[in-house]
Amino acid sequence: MVSRAGYGAMQLTGPGVFGPPADRDAAIAVLRTAIELGVDHIDTAQYYGPDVVNELIRDALHPYAAELAIVSKVGVRRGTRGEILLYNEPAQLRTGIEDNLRTLRIHRLAAVNLRMPDDTALPDARFDDQLAAMVQARQDGLIDAVGLSNVSLAQLEHALTITDIATVQNSYSLADRRSQAVLELTAERGISFAPYLPLGWPGRTRLQTLDSPVVRDIAERVGGTPPQVALAWLLSLAPNVLLIAGTRSTQHLRENTAAVEIELTPEDRAALNALA
């Protein structure tokens, strides 16, 4: 069990999620502030940097609080120029998990998500082998739970015939609801759903819906900001939704975690739903 407001650590790298941050001390401060604010769920990945984010988490928070759930993902790696490359053969998945454990200096992860490529939607024999590698890692005590990321409804349904899935991490926001069916199935099956890019791609795009008069009017009424309204809307969708909004700013971190306190009326939710 974790608090609904977690923290996504992806932005603690350099530009393009590659290389070290411009201000390492500021990155360390964000992580420590997250814990001070009650965050007990941090999302990371070995290929953020690569290595950079896991090493920052280790240096900032190790030894870890007993209640802190660290969740990572495997399935891709970074090239020497920052390119994203597949790294999802069964043996590579195992290596990816072990690399996470090594850099984080931890014996077991709360969960690891198998990240699926953008251009796949149907399960196949290779998917079964990948799931088998994840299940073996769980049986060997390297991870507590298996998760999926960037997954289609068909893939999730198939995975559930093979093993328990603890969490799903898909893109979902006011402007991107392509994973609606996946969200509904996770709610039905009691699987946590952690939407990534809930406010748009960091440093590149901001959701146009955040500038909508509807969002701004609701934000003014509740005494919050448009991003807080967008995050509160996500939480209102279903009780299994967890936030992993990322930022490299302690101010934005405080605002993001405070979104759990915003209460939207049924009329607010209806107006926000209509922005799809």
pLDDT by residue (tens digit) across 61-110? 999 999 999 999 999 999 999 999 999 999 999 999 999 999 999 999 99
Q: Which pLDDT belongs to residue 276?
A: 72
DSSP state of 83: -
Q: Which pLDDT belongs to residue 125?
A: 87
135-150 pLDDT, tens digit per residue, is 999 999 999 999 999 9
Quote the pTM value: 0.95
252-265 pLDDT, tens digit per residue, is 999 999 999 999 99
Contacts (Cβ under 8 Å, ≥6 apart) of 243? 4, 5, 6, 194, 195, 198, 231, 234, 235, 256, 259, 260
To the query of whether residue 48 is one of the catalytic residues in this protein, the response is yes
Q: How far is CA 224 from CA 37, 83, 113, 215, in A?
A: 18, 38, 32, 10
| H-helix segments, 45-169 | 52-61, 90-104, 125-139, 153-160
Q: Which band of pLDDT confidence, cut at 50, 70 and 90, is reported for residue 203? A: low
Long-range contacts of 128-131 (CB under 8 A, 24+ apart): 128/162, 129/90, 130/75, 130/88, 130/90, 130/93, 131/159, 131/162, 131/163
Task: Single out the catalytic residue among 48, 87, 172, 196.
Answer: 48
Q: Which of 176, 260, 180, 184 is closest to 210 using CA atoms?
A: 176
HSE-up of residue 148 (Cα within 13 Å, Cβ side) = 28
Assign 155 to helix, strand or coil.
helix
- For the chain, the domains span 7-205+238-262
- Find where tokens 């509740």 sit: 222
End-to-end Cα, the chain, rounded Å: 31
Q: Provide the 10 A C-beta neighbour count for residue 54.
A: 26
98-133 pLDDT, tens digit per residue, is 999 999 999 999 999 999 998 788 888 899 999 999
Find the helix packing angle between 250-258 and 24-36, rounded to 10°.
20
CATH class in words for 7-205+238-262: alpha beta
Cα 72 versus chain centre, distance: 9
Query: At 67, which amino acid appears?
Result: E
